[in-house]
Each structure stands twice: as C-alpha cells, then as structure tokens.
A and B are shown apart, each in its own frame.
Chain A
Amino acid sequence: MGLTKYEISGKPFINGIVPDTDDDLLIVSASYESRCLSVSNCLADTYKVRRGAACCFREFLDHKNCGEVVRMHMERLKDNIAKHTRVPIISEAIGSWLDAKTEIEQLQRLMKELRSELGELSKVTVDVTTFNRESLAVLLSLLSCYFQDAKIRILYTKPNDYGAWLSRGFRRVRNIAGFPGILLPSRQTILIVLSGFEDERAINIIDRIEPASVYLGIGDPPTDDKFLRRNELTSRIIMARQDMKRFTFQADDVEACTKQLVNLIKDLRKSFNIILAPMSSKLSTVAAIRVALAFPDIQLVYGIPGEYNVQDYSKGEATIYETIIPTFELREEGRSIGDTE
C-alpha cells in the first residue's frame, strides 16, 4: 500500500483502483464544505464505477444556515458520480451525527442494499474528506464486515486552510458504536488522544473519561506545516495538565501512523484498558480506526460537539491523498498479535 499525493489542478486525474477496470463502489459524503466535491470533480473521464453512494447527516440537510448548501452539494455529488456509472443509480444514506442508532441503521441499510444488489465487492473507493470521524469509523467497520475481501481506497482532500474554529460546545463523549472496547475493572485506563486543533474538546474528553494517564499525540509530520504549528499551540494548552505523556505520529500517512499506533499500544494493552480518541487528520483517523478494528479491546471514542462551524470550517482545496487499505488483513494481523477472539 503506498501513499500518493495529487495537487489539484485543472485536469481530472482519479482513475480506478485497478487501472482500466471499473470500481465497484464510490462512497462520498455531502457536507457544508465545498471540498466535499473535490474528489468527484477530479474523477478522470475514463473512471467508471458500478455504484455510487452519497451519505449525509439529516441535521445538516435541515440546518438553517447550511441546509441549502448541503442539499446543493448532495445534488452536485450525485450528478458528478452519475456521469461515471453505467447505470445512473446513486444510493443514499441520510444518517445523524447526534443519534448513533439512526446513523448505524442508515449505514447498515446501505450495506445490505449494496450487497443484495451488487453481490460481493472487491474495489471500494471512499472519499473520507467530509465524513465526521464517528461516521467514518462506523462506515469502514461495516465495509470490512460486509465486504471482507474488498480493497478499500481512501481519498482525502486537504484544504488550503481551516476556519478560526472547527466546532464549539461539547455535548458528551461516547464510544463509537461498534467499538465498545473491553474495559476490565481489574485494570487502569490509558487514554490516547490524537490531537488536532480543538483543545477544549480534547480537555472535555479527558475530564469525562478520567484516565489514569493520557498519551497526547502530535501530528508530526502534518499534512501541512501551518497545521502543525496550530496543533502545537493546542497541545501546549492540553499538556499544561498533569500526567500527560507526549508522542508524535505521522498525520499525513495512514500506513505509517497505523504502525506507530500499533507500536505504542501493543505493550500497553497487556496491562491497561486502552481508549483511543482520534481528533487529528482524517488520514490518522483512518489509522486509528484500523487499529481499533485490529484490536477489539481498544475503545474508540468521539467527543460530540455542540455545533460544527458550518459556515467557515475550511477554505479551498489543495491536495488529494490516495491510499489503499487492506482492512481485513490488518484484522488478521491484530488477531495474530494477541486478540483472543
């Protein structure tokens, strides 16, 4: 598996996972950010896919400030993808970022629909750019359950910059459904935070979980140097608290980050309960999801914010990252490392 970076220019460049062959599925997410369209805009003319699927949150579709934009993005995505399908059917999953049950039900329904209509899938492309982390974890886990032999290609569009704030407020922390982890009463708990720009959100997660100790990860190298500077600033605020251990991870590379996380946890998990909170880049979030899939004793958590910055979350689109993850292989690897299942 490697990592490829494409600078976004005028010419569409995204081809099939296997050259000259149709992808089985392309999943995208409609959001309030314009970069949700980047991947679909960059599909090469020759790109063909058997089925497209667009996901969205009902709260965004109904939002008074961004609903119109999100609905427009949804339509644009469907139009863009339809140009590359042999049969113009685009499946939809309208989930919820507030209600875990609705989100799972919608994505489960989508998986069942795809399996019944398309059979086994082997080449799945996921544009992870504007999925929220919780939804992305559920989606990747479901894909690995329903289509165990699939190659999953991850595409991610890095923006030129982010807004002054990404989310505000804090509702609660919850484990991502399907990643309950095993928290044994006989063990102390370690919380591993892959930190991003949201210090308050990270502090809220730490405060509510009250772990015996916290490992705070800084994304270095980052996807962009200016993002590292912002991350450093955020992490200083969090590091001011007691019992913090700092480490770095590669925020711009799924494979490298996966290996770093596995190295970090492989010994810790023998003696501690491990909770993992991915709050950094989407690529490192994919790595965290892979690790949590490989080691089911790890709990994956998400801090639900009060609101997202739906009007100024990010600016522009700079680079598209491409990487292919053999999810099921990692599951096997995890098992061989020590999963008792």
Chain B
Amino acid sequence: MQEQSVFEGNPFAIESPERLTASQILALFVEEYTRVAEARQKKHTFIWGPRGSGKSMMLRYMEIRCVKEKIISIEDFLSSADGFFGVYCPCKEGQFNKTELVEVLPERLATLFTEHLLNLSLVTNLIIAIRKELNPEHTHKDKVTRFGQLLVRLFDPGAIAPSRLSVNGLFSFEDEPLEWIIELLNEENRRVTRFLRATAHGASPATYSGSTTGYHDFLLPAVRLVQKEFLGESVPIFFLLDDVDRLRESQCSIVNTWVANRDQQHLCFKITANRDLYATFSTRDGGFIEQPHDYSEIDVEELYTSSSSDFQKRMMLIANRRLQLSLLPTKDIDKFLPSSVNEQKLLAEIRIRLEKEWDEKQGPGRKRDYVYRYAIPRLFQQLGKQKKSYAGFGNIVDLSSGIVRDFLEPVYLMVDHTLNQGAELNKIEFIPVGLQDDILHRYSEEFLLEKFAAIRKGLPPEKHGVLDRLAILVESLGQLFYVRLHDPDAREGRVFSFTLRGIASPELKRVLDLGVSFRYFQLRTYSRKEGGGLEKWYVLNRRVCPKFKLDASGFGGRISLTPEMAELACRESNEFVRLRLGEPLDYEEPDLFTMVKEGISWD
C-alpha cells in the first residue's frame, strides 16, 4: 500500500536518491539489467557513470536500511552467504575537499588529516547504521559497552583525553554508549577543523594535539570490532562511497590505498564516480590499483539502446514501475508513448519494396541484411523535408543515449505540459505523437543551444575557445551524418560515431575531452579489424538526432577520421563535410560483436 503514495503527481519526476525514503527507493529501483548483483559481490568495486545514470540509486539500494525493508529477517540475511552490511557515505562538497586540505597545507599533512577525517566519517556512519538498523538483541548493552571500550582503545589515550572530557559533559558512557562514541568521533572531527582554521589564520604556528587515525590502526580494527560484536565475523561491511570524484588527487590516492589492501572479507568499498573526473588510480606509495586484481568495475552508462538491449529492457521496467505507482490510467509505457503510425506504415511499405528490389537483383548479400541496411535510410530519404517523428518509447530510449535521467526528463516534460493544459492526471491515457515530437525537438535543440550557453557560463574564459570548437565539431558531424543518411547512394547511412585514427593534438584532445565530459560524446575503444591496436571511438549523443534529423536507432557503422580531419571539423563545418564526402567511403562495417551487443533483430 505504501507504494501508492510514491507518486501523487507526475511519475516521471526526478528526485535525488538522498531525499528518498527506503520504501521509495525500493519501489523505484529496478534491479534487473543493472548489474547490481555484481556490485553486491564481496570485492571492491568502482561504479562509473555520469550524472543521472543511476549510480547513487544503486548505492542507496544496497544500504542496510533498504535491504531491511525487503527481507523478512535481517539475521537471516546477514548470516546468508551473500550477506553484507551496507553503509552509505557521501563525499559532500566541502566535507573532505576543504580548501585548507587541498590548497593550503603541505601535501603530507593534508593527506594525514584527510585520511583521519575519512576514517571518522566512515566509522560514524557505520555506528549510526548499527544503532538505527539492527534489532535490539543485536545491540545489547553489554555488547555496545564492550564495543565502545575497545573502540576507544584504538585511539591514543592522551590525544583523545580532551574530547572525552568534553563528551562526558554531554553523555554518560554507561547509559548511552553509542551516543557517547558518536559524540567522541564528532569532537575529534571538530578538533581537526579547529586546527585547519588556526593553520590558515592563526597569528602563531598552529599545533595539533588530537588523534590521527589510519587504515590499519583504526578503520580495519573498527570494522572487525563491529563484525565481532554485532554482525558476525564473516559479514563484510560495504562502505558505499558516493561522488568520490569530488576528492582531489592526493585524497583519491588514500581511497586507492585502502582498495589495494584487499581486505574484502571484512570491508568492501563500493565507489561511485564519473570516470573522467576520478583523479588517479595511484596509491600513496606510488603503486597503482588494477582491475581485476584489486577491484571490479561497473559502467552504468549504456552505449546500446536497441529493443533487445539490457538498457531498453531496464527502461521498460523503470517506466512501467513508475506508471504502476502513479495515478495515470495506462500502465504500459509502449501504450503511453505511442510511435507514429504513419511512419510505421511507411517503413513497412519500404521494407516490402526493398525485398522486391533484392528479389529482382538477387543481391547483394543476404536479403534480410539488405532490407535492414537500407530501410531506415530510405525512410529518411522519402520523408524529405517532412518532419521526422521520434515519438514512441523505443525511440525515446534511443535518444537517451543510455542515461536514465535523459529518458525520464523529456517524458516528465510531456506529462507536465499535458497537466498544464488542464488535463487531470488520472485521465491522461497516452501522450499524443505530436506533443512527444514537439518536446523531443525542443529537448534536442536545448542540448545544442541552451546547454552550450549554460556550459559557457560555467567555464573559465580560457576554455571558451575549446567550447566553441566543440560546438563546431558537433555541428560538422551532425551535418555530415545527415548528408550520409539522406544520400540514396550511400552504402551505409546509419552512422553517428567516429574513430580517431592517429594521435590527437593537445588542442584536439581538449575539445574531445570536453565533449566527453559534457556528454556530447560517449567514449569507447574499438579494436581495428586489421589489427594494430585500439582506436578511440566517439559516439555522438543521440539527443542531437531530432535537431540534425538523424537516425537514433542503430549503430550501422562508424567513420574513421584522421586527427587533421577532426581538427578541420572543429574549425569549419562546410569545408569538413565537403572534403569528407569527397573521400572514399571509409567506414567500419558493424562487426558481429556489435550486432550481438546491440541485439539487432534480423527478422
């Protein structure tokens, strides 16, 4: 029954996972096709993805408060082979990346205090979770008292003496041992902050007489104490570290050093970050953490979005779940977001014509390949100057380019628009094709106009030139792919990605990196068929498709660009298109692997 209250309004609203209750997270999170099972394994895991891809949601789903909501007995869960105790630990702006630690103090000192603050924070969160989520029999007073006494011993007694004195004035260890410990950890946190303040502004050299803690002398023993007293020795604690890309390089190296310790039977770090922003994989002693020896990784940003892809299946479940939880009368997303009947009819006619063509010529290749390759380009060509429809659930999933938020956002706008027109939520049976298209075209245009303007506002002026070149590059590619798609003689028109054959100049690299960081491109690597190593493969964000009138539905191949040609594309769109079209059709055929991953249906 509690699910009914999840969405009283627009069910496609995007809420920060931090603001959702455990029952809301459980109601909204779709486990299938997310690789959450992999994340639950007892190893350190990096979960990579851009904003809106569902990383934080996955972490919160593994938090003990959510796990508790969906199981019958926490004892059974913890004692099972898959049991773990998940503790959410966000890296908030200004919590660890304080100016004093990242800009003012010498690195050695800064690292010492960062690790101490991280330890205090993790153990505080762990104790709060123990206090809130475990049943009273788990946290019997004798156990808690013993735990407190042993935990305090992990500190240097002299160093924490002033904090003990201060905490004794607020709590009695005998009566409220857990509160007493949490306050002790808070007080040690305050002492670090006082030192940082004095370092920055003090009239005389600052001295620090509080505690410092490390991994082996505090975090690991504290975890083992928690295991011993409350959870069971074989139940690992999962520290769910969110937004770790906020940490600076030397701070990331602390986390990497923890990961390198491989104490997964006691504690696992589940670390979310935007891969491009994660500062380093080096450890404090100059080593590197490596996959799979030290950690596993999950990339939540999906590349393939076709109907049989995991992403489309997941989006179907997510969207249907939201419909179920809402007042909307339609509970099937395919019916709620219909595609254009006219275009479907036209496409069917084109397919029949292509089959006939192939029958007459008995080639080239196999008939179904021929129909698959040319049907969509012919549709675009036949539409000519008419507006192409991108309406329909599958199309919108394609346009989202594998980001959950980029599917939810336009659909939210569609429902919102309908409500603003005076409709009642419980009477909206579907979103008309015309309205879907209007919103999707505007959403696409916004990505190319307003988004660039917003990015400019958020960039220092020295980067404006790089952004300008990125805008031209996107325009160049959009134009080129449009011409290819609308050329009846093009052997393969359904192209919206390129590989870079050669080494990019620093300037070109800056443009491409900026494009990846603002998601104009998805970056993958591609093994050249003729051998010779990997090439960087840049896939244009399909949100641009309505604006450029491109096909968002499949990976028909990729063009290959030399760095010189890519640089031209950053400067002069028309010249780039003219020269590139003059070149022989140098594109990569989709290989079998691509077809399998993409889930192309040959029938």
Contact = CB atoms under 8 A, between A and B. Distances in A.
B94 A145 contact: no
A149 to B, nearest CB: 13
Given A209-B92, A296-B193, A180 B461 contact: no
B458 interface: yes
Given A182-B193, A185-B121, A111 B203 contact: yes
A275 B94 contact: yes
Interface in A177-228: 177-186, 189, 200, 204, 208-210, 212
Interface in B157-195: 166, 182, 186-187, 189-190, 193-194
A209 B103 contact: no
A178 B201 contact: yes
Contacts of B196: 180
B128 A177 contact: no
B457 A170 contact: yes
A183 B95 contact: yes
A185 B457 contact: no
A118 to B, nearest CB: 14
A110 to B, nearest CB: 13
Given A200-B457, A210-B18, A146 B203 contact: yes
B94 A100 contact: no
Contact of B100 (A180, A209, A212, A296): A180
A186 B188 CA distance: 14
Contacts of A275: 94
Nearest to A296: B197
A340 B190 contact: yes
Given A169-B457, A186-B182, A179 B197 contact: yes
A183 B94 contact: yes
Nearest to A201: B457
Interface string B140-156: 00000000000000000
Interface in B441-475: 456-461
Contacts of B16: 210
Interface residues of A, number: 45
A61 B504 CA distance: 36
A209 B194 contact: no
B461 A307 contact: yes
B124 A299 contact: no
A34 B18 CA distance: 47
Given A104-B104, A185-B121, A186-B182, A209 B99 contact: no
A100 B103 contact: yes
Contact of A185 (B89, B94, B459, B460): B89
Interface in B194-212: 194, 196-197, 200-203
A27 B18 CA distance: 45
A49 B457 CA distance: 43
A295 to B, nearest CB: 12
Contacts of A209: 92-94
B459 A306 contact: yes
Instruction: From B92, B94, B103, B104, name the one whose CB has the most chain A CB atoms within 10 angstroms.
Output: B94
B314 interface: no
A251 interface: no
Contacts of A307: 460-461
B98 A175 contact: yes
Contacts of B121: 185
Interface string A146-187: 100000000000000000000011110111111111111110
A23 interface: no
B460 A208 contact: no
A146 B201 CA distance: 9
B401 to A, nearest CB: 22
B104 A184 contact: no
B125 A145 contact: no
Given A180-B197, A200-B457, A185 B103 contact: no
B578 to A, nearest CB: 35
A62 B182 CA distance: 50
A174 B99 contact: yes
A188 to B, nearest CB: 9
A296 B186 contact: no
A177 to B, nearest CB: 5
Q: Give the 6 A-B CB pairs with smallest separation, nearest first.
A: A178-B200, A178-B201, A306-B460, A185-B121, A100-B103, A145-B203
12 contacts: A100-B104, A104-B104, A115-B203, A142-B201, A168-B461, A169-B459, A170-B457, A174-B103, A177-B201, A178-B200, A182-B193, A210-B18
